[in-house]
Amino acid sequence: MNPIIKKAIPKTFHMIILMSLFGGLLVFQACDNNTTNINSNGPGHGKGRVNVHMTDSPAQFDALTINIVRIEIHGTGSDSANNKWQVISDSSQTVNIMDLTNGKSKLLGTKDLEPGTYNQIRLILGSGNTVTVNGKTYPIKIPSGQQTGLKININTNISLTSGSIKDLLLDFNAAKSVHRTGNGRYMMKPVIHAVNKQIDGYIKGQVQPAQASIFAINGSDTTNTYADSTSGNFKLMGLTPGTYSLSIMPKDTTYSDTTLTGIQVNSSDTTDVGTITLHQK
């Protein structure tokens, strides 16, 4: 046999072995990392998919950062496969809540789950949570949430069927969550509403002059936001379908408060109230 061929055979054989091992390693990693490696074409194997997003009802802070180390969901009913806590994401992530206002949201995790009804979400928080006020950053003490987690009831249960995709929105109310204590420190008792994006609706619009607080009121339920300080644009998310009043309170007290009534919010739809022009007193 040609000596050149004799030398080439071992090299080729070694290359095949290395490629096989590398391919097997990739397959193993894809199977193991099941909280983040999701098929973009949709759920398979008879499962449904839940996507968890977070948004914020604004507050007067420069920044509010929280560290989320794990997200879990709980099913209801007698099915033992769903009636337990299941991990949506176990990748640590730090989120600045103040970046998620006026219709902005962040995808926190996604997971394919067995069909069933899901009624609770739980956030496990880590350390390093801070609030920035007037340019100064303070650590935040959280009485609970790091060990037992923050349990949140989903306002309208998620009914997951084979092949379906559901989006869950966590609406973090920063103004009601963060409190300054008597010794000048800050503590947080998170107020978070979990809403089904396929069921709830939205209100958007624009206020002129731009700086104003907006409140959507339906009976005893009130959701608030702040208009963008430059454009005046605003968006209220996670609203239960129904008829709302919209109260606008300008920051400049030389302008009068304004209230719009009879605003209809429909499931999975956005009601645009257009431009609201405030008038001076």
Under 8 Å CB-to-CB from 167, ≥6 apart: which residues?
Answer: 50, 51, 53, 196, 197, 198
Domain ranges of the chain: 48-199, 202-277
Q: What is the overall mean pLDDT for the chain?
A: 81
Q: Is the pLDDT of residue 3 over 70?
A: no
Q: Which CATH architecture has domain 202-277?
A: Sandwich (2.60)
Q: Which of the 8 DSSP states describes residue 98?
A: G
CATH class, range 48-199: mainly beta
Query: Using CA atoms, how far apart are residues 279 and 281, in angstroms rounded to an integer?
Result: 7
Q: Same CATH topology for 48-199 and 202-277? A: yes
Q: Which residues have a Cβ under 8 Å from the Cβ of 28 and sit 6 or more positions away? A: none
Contacts by 264-269, CB closer than 8 A, 24 or more apart: 265/201, 265/202, 265/203, 265/218, 265/239, 265/240, 265/241, 266/201, 266/241, 267/198, 267/199, 267/200, 267/201, 267/241, 268/197, 268/198, 268/199, 268/200, 268/201, 269/201, 269/202
Instruction: Report the alpha-carbon distance of residue 75 to residue 173 in Å, rounded.
Output: 25
Give the model's pLDDT for residue 18.
Answer: 41
The residues pairing with 208 across neighbouring beta strands, listed in sequence order, are: 277
> What confidence score (pLDDT) does residue 274 get?
95
Give the mean model confidence (pLDDT) for residues 156-171. Answer: 89
Instruction: Give the pLDDT band of residue 39 (cuts 50, 70, 90).
Output: low
The string of pLDDT tens digits covering residues 105-155 is 899 999 999 998 999 999 999 888 999 999 999 999 887 655 678 889 887
HEC profile of 167-216: EEEEEEEHHHHEEECCCCCEEECCCEEEEECCCCEEEEEEEECCCEEEEE
* DSSP letter, residue 255: B
**pLDDT for position 30:** 33
- Segment 160-172 mean pLDDT: 90
